[in-house]
């Protein structure tokens, strides 16, 4: 029960990874706001049923949960989501930003609408709940009640290394890493840590990919692609124990957890004056020979 009595919001918790996180937090003693708009894989439609089902599952475990159906990519929706946690459970300790959907296409076929929809749900859908939770935690801190709060954002291998056919999604997920770094630096003074995960699991989002590359495990064997494998790390990052960890990105799949080292300064050169473009060929060639090689883009 590493999250006993903590109040946790999980966005997009009606299915897949978000559902697994919500259940794990409940098992760890937390009270959970189960947010989900109940949309299709490409973000259409809407239904209360998925969030409601997860709330019932949590109650059946003896836990406490409430369903919440706001669109997290709207200012009013994000505000309502944070207000629901405060009104229902009286406090907020953890925000897990997880909701999102896909509209995959090669760049030359990607429409402006498909670009906007995916940037909106992932990038704005992380920013707005983070902003409203942050406003609450800043007010708490200023009132002398220092929070011990956590934000866990959801990036993706697509955002860290790139993924063919997912230009919109990769750009949004890379943006979430930048947002995580800034939020970690800005909110630390209020007692809030901000980290990100890059998960991999079998959900409706990846079913076809994994069906092609992975046979289902034998009865009783470890199912490495189960979404439930990702959630213990998310619950730990949401617990009081992780207070010294912030601004980090963890790749997590099956039983494997990897700290991503991200961009850092590599080999450099300084002429002490402006370069002449014609001299740069050998100079850049030399730097690239010394530098760590880029990892391949997924699907390339």
Ligand X SMILES: NC(=O)c1ccc[n+]([C@@H]2O[C@H](COP(=O)([O-])OP(=O)(O)OC[C@H]3O[C@@H](n4cnc5c(N)ncnc54)[C@H](O)[C@@H]3O)[C@@H](O)[C@H]2O)c1
Q: Which string of DSSP letters, residue by residue, matches 231-253?
A: HHHHHHHHSGGGTT--S-EEEEE
CB of 267 to ligand X, least distance (A): 31
* Cβ nearer to ligand X, comparing 130 with 201: 201
Which positions from 192 through 221 interact with ligand X, judged by CB under 6 A? 199-201, 203-206
Which positions from 7 through 66 interact with ligand X, judged by CB under 6 A? 11-12, 14-18, 35-39, 41, 43, 50
Given the structure tokens 């590359």, which residue do they identify?
A: 213
CB of 231 to ligand X, least distance (A): 11
169 is catalytic: yes
For the four alpha carbons of 77, 79, 83 and 85, in that order, the dihedral sign comes to positive
> Do strands 256-259 and 64-68 pair parallel, antiparallel, or not at all (unpaired)?
unpaired
173 is catalytic: yes
CB of 126 to ligand X, least distance (A): 9
Which positions from 99 through 138 interact with ligand X, judged by CB under 6 A? 99-101, 121, 125
Q: Which of 70, 124, 169, 190 is catalytic?
A: 169
Neighbours of 57 (CB within 10 A): 16
3-state helix, strand, coil in the chain (%, to 5): 45, 15, 40
Return the range that interacts with ligand X (CB under 6 A); candidates 93-101, 211-219, 236-244, 282-290.
Answer: 93-101
Q: Judged by CB under 6 A, which of 9, 65, 72, 177 binds ligand X?
A: 72
* Cβ nearer to ligand X, comparing 28 with 231: 231
CA 23 to chain centre: 17
Q: Judged by CB under 6 A, which of 28, 84, 153, 154 binds ligand X?
A: 154
CB of 146 to ligand X, least distance (A): 30
* Residues 228 and 21 sit within 8 Å (Cβ to Cβ): no
Q: Which residue is nearest to ligand X, using beta carbons?
A: 16
The CA distance from 214 to 202, in Å, is: 10
* Cβ nearer to ligand X, comparing 158 with 190: 158
Side by side, which strands form the sheet with 256-259? 64-68, 31-35, 7-10, 94-96, 149-154, 192-199, 249-253, 256-259
* Cβ nearer to ligand X, comparing 190 with 250: 250
Q: Which of 70, 156, 231, 242 is catalytic?
A: 156
190 is catalytic: no
Q: Which of 173, 184, 231, 242 is catalytic?
A: 173
As beta bridge partners, residue 65 has 32
Q: Which string of DSSP letters, residue by residue, matches 51-107?
A: HHHHHHHHHHTT-EEEEE---TTSHHHHHHHHHHHHHHHS---EEE--------B-G
Residues tagged active-site: 156, 169, 173
Q: Which residues bind to ligand X, rule: CB under 6 A?
A: 11-12, 14-18, 35-39, 41, 43, 50, 71-73, 98-101, 121, 125, 154, 156, 199-201, 203-206
């Amino acid at each position: 029960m590493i999250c006993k009595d903590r109040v946790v919001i999980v966005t997009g918790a009606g299915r897949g990874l978000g559902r697994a996180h919500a259940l794990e937090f409940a098992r760890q003693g937390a009270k959970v706001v189960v947010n989900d708009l109940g949309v299709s894989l490409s973000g259409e439609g809407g239904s209360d049923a998925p969030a409601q089902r997860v709330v019932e599952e949590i109650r059946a475990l003896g836990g406490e949960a409430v369903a919440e159906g706001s669109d997290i990519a709207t200012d009013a929706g994000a505000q309502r989501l944070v207000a629901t946690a405060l009104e229902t459970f009286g406090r907020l300790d953890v925000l897990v930003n997880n909701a999102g959907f896909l509209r995959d296409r090669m760049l030359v076929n990607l429409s402006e609408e498909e670009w906007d929809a995916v940037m909106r749900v992932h990038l704005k859908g992380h920013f707005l709940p983070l902003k409203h939770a942050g406003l609450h935690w800043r007010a708490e801190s200023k009132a002398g009640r220092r929070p011990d709060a956590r934000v866990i954002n959801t990036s993706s291998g697509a955002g860290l290394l790139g993924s063919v056919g997912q230009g919109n999604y990769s750009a949004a997920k890379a943006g979430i890493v930048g947002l995580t770094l800034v939020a970690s630096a800005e909110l630390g003074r209020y007692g809030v840590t901000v980290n990100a995960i890059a998960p991999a699991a079998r959900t409706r989002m990846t079913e076809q990919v994994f069906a092609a590359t992975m046979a289902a495990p034998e009865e009783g064997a470890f199912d490495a692609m189960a979404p439930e494998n990702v959630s213990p790390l998310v619950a730990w990052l949401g617990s009081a124990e992780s207070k010294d960890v912030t601004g980090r990105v963890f790749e997590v799949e099956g039983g494997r957890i990897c700290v991503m080292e991200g961009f850092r300064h590599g080999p450099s050169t300084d002429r002490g004056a402006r370069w002449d473009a014609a001299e740069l060929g050998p100079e850049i060639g030399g730097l690239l020979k010394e530098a760590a090689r880029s990892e391949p883009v997924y699907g390339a």
